[in-house]
């Protein structure tokens, strides 16, 4: 492997570790030394790739939003015309219950971005627009958003549901929040899918 390839791999490892760390503990929950340790590199190696924690945070936002867009595209390729239902069920199920380090950046980083730099907000906004565009460009799917307003509303509902469900201690209430949002986004298809 060339030195350039090694450098690219190290950068990717740092970015992925930063994304997991920021999703898990927030921007204030970890410093450069912790980010470097999570990536298995020295703090000096971290600074070779990123000039500051803020730069790593912006890169983590870009990575996280690209991962979400990839998830949307995966659902579209895998389920065709049923992709929207599959995406909603996955988001309200697996993405609601996974460890925070593996959660969706849209859900876990939004509050951090709101308190962050203009560069972070710009990166987040660009990523959000890419995700919305991917949703709108997908195959026609029952109940899928048809315009930007509907895509933003659906994403806001998903993010809000996951945020609320993660915040309550009652698993019954968490399930009810997810089910109510599923019904709002999918209509009768939500209940029909539950009985399958």
| Residue 152 in domain | yes
| Residue 105 in domain | yes
| Token pair recorded at residue 105 | 């950046």
| Residue 129 in domain | yes
Total count of domains within the chain = 1
Is pLDDT of 175 > 50?
A: yes
**Model pLDDT, residue 194:** 62
Give CA–CA dist 163/148, Å, rounded: 22
| Residue 168 in domain | yes
pLDDT confidence bin for 1, thresholds 50/70/90 = confident
Segment 122-147, tens digit of pLDDT: 999 999 999 999 999 999 999 999 99
Closest to 64 in 3D by CA, of 105, 15, 108, 107: 105
| Residue 84 in domain | yes
Segment 22-38, tens digit of pLDDT: 999 999 999 999 999 99
Domain hosting 179: range is 58-194
Is pLDDT of 196 > 60?
A: no
| Residue 130 in domain | yes
Per DSSP, the three-state class of 26 is: coil
| Residue 25 in domain | no
pTM (two decimals): 0.91
CATH code, domain carrying 87:
1.10.357.10
Segment 80-122, tens digit of pLDDT: 999 999 999 999 999 999 999 999 999 999 999 999 999 999 9
In degrees and rounded to multiples of 5, residue 26 shows phi and psi of 80, 170
| Residue 90 in domain | yes
| Token pair recorded at residue 9 | 């791999």
Is pLDDT of 63 > 60?
A: yes
């Amino acid at each position: 492997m060339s030195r350039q390839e090694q450098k690219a791999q190290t950068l990717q490892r740092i970015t992925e570790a930063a994304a997991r760390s920021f999703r898990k503990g927030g921007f204030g929950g970890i410093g450069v030394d912790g980010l470097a340790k999570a990536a298995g590199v020295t703090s000096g190696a971290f600074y070779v790739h990123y000039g500051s924690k803020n730069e790593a945070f912006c890169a983590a936002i870009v990575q996280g939003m690209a991962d979400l867009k990839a998830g949307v595209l995966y659902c579209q390729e895998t389920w065709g015309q049923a992709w929207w239902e599959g995406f909603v069920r996955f988001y309200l199920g697996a993405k609601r219950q996974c460890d925070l380090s593996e959660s969706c950046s849209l859900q876990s980083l939004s509050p951090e971005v709101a308190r962050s730099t203009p560069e972070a907000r710009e990166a987040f906004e660009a990523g959000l627009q890419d995700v919305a565009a991917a949703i709108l460009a997908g195959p026609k799917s029952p109940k899928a958003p048809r315009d930007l307003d509907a895509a933003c509303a659906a994403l806001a509902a998903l993010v809000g549901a996951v945020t609320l469900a993660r915040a309550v201690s009652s698993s019954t209430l968490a399930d009810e929040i997810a089910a109510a949002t599923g019904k709002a986004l999918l209509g009768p298809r939500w209940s029909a899918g539950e009985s399958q």
